[in-house]
Amino acid sequence: MPQPLALLLVLAVAAAVSALLCVLLRPLLVRYALARPNARSSHRVPTPQGGGIAVLGGLFAALGLTLAILPPVPGLGSLAFVVAASAALAVVGAWDDIRPLSPGLRLGLQALCVAVAIVYAAPDIRLFPAALPLAVERLLALLAGIWFVNLTNFIDGLDWITVAGFVPLAGALALACALGIVDPATGALAAALCGGLIGFAPFNKPVARLFLGDVGSLPIGLLGAYLLYRLAGNGALAAALILPLYPVADATLTLLRRLARRERVWEAHRSHFYQQATTNGHAVLAVVTQVTGLNLALVLLAGLTLLLPALWAQLACLAAAVLLTARLLRRFARPAASA
């Protein structure tokens, strides 16, 4: 089977299984996993969480299909560790959804899962071999992975916003595989993640009937970090920096501002730019539409960095991505009438 058709099959299976699991699990989640409004919430009524189980279920089913009916895919051995780490992190997230863990224990378990998925499962990747010792590079990769897992969780606070962020990202990685830029195993994982989120999307559209929960946002963050790390390791560092720029910028700037105000950064809040946007009068659908539009523009800029390998072109695309992201953050921080 031609590779693009194989990736479409993986995506379709993940989407179908995810949607089916959303339908089957929702009554159970309504009974046992209601998310009640709190200081961080953008919703006003109790809403079931745990949709991440369906997303991961679709992803695992699609990858199982890849193993069962397609020719052997190079790199699946390493992918097994990534899948295992994401499943373990989903268990951590589910536990935290039901009975909140202490910040230290939660962070330690996250670090262990990130170490397995990024440090252990991708030993062949070196981003700066001439500039950094291997141990330093691995430590930086670990810290970046932990931060990406957490920022994905932080950003997952509005209907459809994680879908708006990760469907373009995962779709771009699957397309990169079809074009021969990343390996087939990475492409299969990206297509499965994209499909799982597409299947979940109808249930999370504003006003959401189902949330991802930590059981979904944490492993999705881990999978996204792994995909971006693989992309960077294939000589596309600029593209890997551009694709996740909105969630990275929103979460990082928010954290720095809260640290500067000496706030307890581990406590719930509504300081993120996308949260400010709804407070400032922007409709939820308008917020996620603008985030989607920005992410599609970032996909195009990331693609340009692959077509134009010259340093000046890479820097120009990065600068354009930063400017577009800054413009949207500024718009979200202002009242809707003056944005």
Q: List the chain pLDDT tens, one digit each, 339 residues.
A: 448 888 999 999 999 999 999 999 999 998 887 777 665 666 567 889 999 999 999 999 999 888 777 677 677 778 889 999 999 999 999 888 778 888 889 999 999 999 999 888 887 888 998 899 999 999 999 999 999 999 999 999 999 999 999 999 999 999 999 888 998 889 999 999 999 999 999 999 998 999 999 999 999 999 999 999 999 999 999 999 999 999 999 999 999 999 998 888 777 778 899 999 999 999 999 999 999 999 999 999 999 999 999 999 999 999 999 999 999 999 999 987 655
Quote the radius of gyration of the chain (alpha carbons, Å).
Answer: 19
> Do residues 258 and 241 lie in contact, with contact meaning Cβ atoms separated by under 8 Å?
no
The tokens of 305 are what?
């960095």
Q: What is the DSSP string of 64-77?
A: HHHHHHSPP-TTHH
Q: Report the pLDDT value the prediction gives residue 42, as an integer from 0 to 100.
A: 62
Give strand pairing partners of 48: 34
Q: Per-domain residue ranges for the chain?
A: 3-243
CB-count exposure of residue 205 (10 Å: 0-12, 13-18, 19+): middle
**Tokens 């581990």, residue located:** 266
Distance CA 45, CA 36 (A): 7
The neighbour count for residue 112, using CB atoms within 10 Å, is: 14
Q: What confidence score (pLDDT) does residue 24 get?
A: 97
Task: Compute how many other C-beta atoms are within 10 angstroms of the C-beta atom of residue 37.
Answer: 12
Residue 88, classed as helix, strand or coil, is helix
Please check whether residue 154 is in contact with residue 211, taking contact to mean a CB–CB distance below 8 angstroms: no
> In angstroms, rounded to a whole number, what is the distance separating the alpha carbons of residues 187 and 121?
16
Residues 6+ apart with CB under 8 A from 167: 194, 197, 198, 201
The conformational region for residue 47 under phi > 0 = left, psi -120 to 50 = alpha, else beta, is beta
Contacts of the segment 101-106: beta carbons below 8 A, 24+ positions apart: 103/266
| Structure-token match 């400017």, residue found | 323
Do residues 56 and 219 make contact, with C-beta atoms less than 8 angstroms apart?
A: yes
Q: What is the distance, to the nearest Å, from the Cα of residue 336 to the centroid of all Cα atoms in its chain?
A: 27
